[in-house]
Amino acid sequence: MTHHILIVDDDPHIRDLLAFALGRAGMSVAEAGDGEAALAAVEQDVPDLMILDINMPRLDGLDLCRRLRASGGAQARLPILFLSSRDDEIDRIVGIEIGGDDYVVKPFSPREVVARVGAILKRGVPAPPPMPATVIRYGRLALDIDAWEARVDAEPIATTATEFQLLALLATMPSKVFSRDAIIDRLHGPGFAMTDRTVDSHVRNLRAKFARAGLDDLVETRSGVGYRLGRCG
């Protein structure tokens, strides 16, 4: 299957560079020069992944990401790879905390961007749990693997692709404590460049979303070790 990627950057040279690299990797590409054009493109046809620059006129990348994540439906689940000249760790963390899946800093290697895009797209549905059902239930938590839907009781909770994958990983083995490195390896593959702070940000996002639905014990922290699923009671 050919994946469709939307490149959003106000620099046409960067769009051309990425379009060429992604095209060589067998992906189809659409382009947008600012956030408003990208929003219109997504509303017309949701891509498989968006490469999104932060610093843009009219509607910057962070605000666009916030609007998409708040929209519900397929747009809210759209994987987003942030692309920016901002190299401070706090900016990378902000991008992840508002719903980004990954972050690449300019100047970048096109091969690295293609590799990160491929890693996000290849996550797909996590390995099924050792049970015939495609719904994982634990306490008040339910994860519909086929529908990519998380619920507390009967209430759907909007999650990004990365957040759902992380939660599904914990839920398939609820008694196991996963180190941050193990989480990165399971979601991306060994050797993938992601910081522990990024994993922590995804966990904070999940906790905040489920706490608003009344589930305050979604993920348990084992100090100095890692994370495991909480009681979900």
pLDDT in tens, the chain (233 residues): 689 999 999 999 999 999 999 999 999 999 999 999 999 999 999 999 999 998 888 898 989 998 898 887 788 889 999 988 766 666 667 777 788 888 888 888 999 999 989 988 876 544 444 444 588 999 999 999 888 889 999 899 988 878 888 999 999 889 999 998 888 877 766 555 566 677 888 899 899 999 999 999 999 999 888 999 999 98
Cβ neighbours around 65 below 10 Å, total: 23
Q: Which residue has the tokens 């404590």?
A: 177
Query: Over pLDDT 70: what percentage of the chain?
Result: 88
All structural domains of the chain with their residue ranges: 4-122, 135-229
Question: What's the count of helices (H) and strands (E) in the chain, helices before strands?
Answer: 9, 11
| Residue 201 tokens, joined | 């940000």
Read off the pLDDT of residues 85-96 as tens digits, 9 standing for 90 and up. 766 666 667 777
What number of CA atoms fall less than 13 Å from residue 11's CA on the CB side? 14
- For the domain made up of 4-122, give the CATH fold: Rossmann fold (3.40.50)
Residue 103 CB-density burial (10 A; 0-12 exposed, 13-18 middle, 19+ buried): buried
pLDDT at 90: 65
CATH of domain 135-229: 1.10.10.10
pLDDT at 22: 96
Report the distance separating Cα 146 and Cα 49, nearest Å: 19
- Asked if 35 contacts 67 with a C-beta cutoff of 8 angstroms, the reply is no
pLDDT at 76: 84
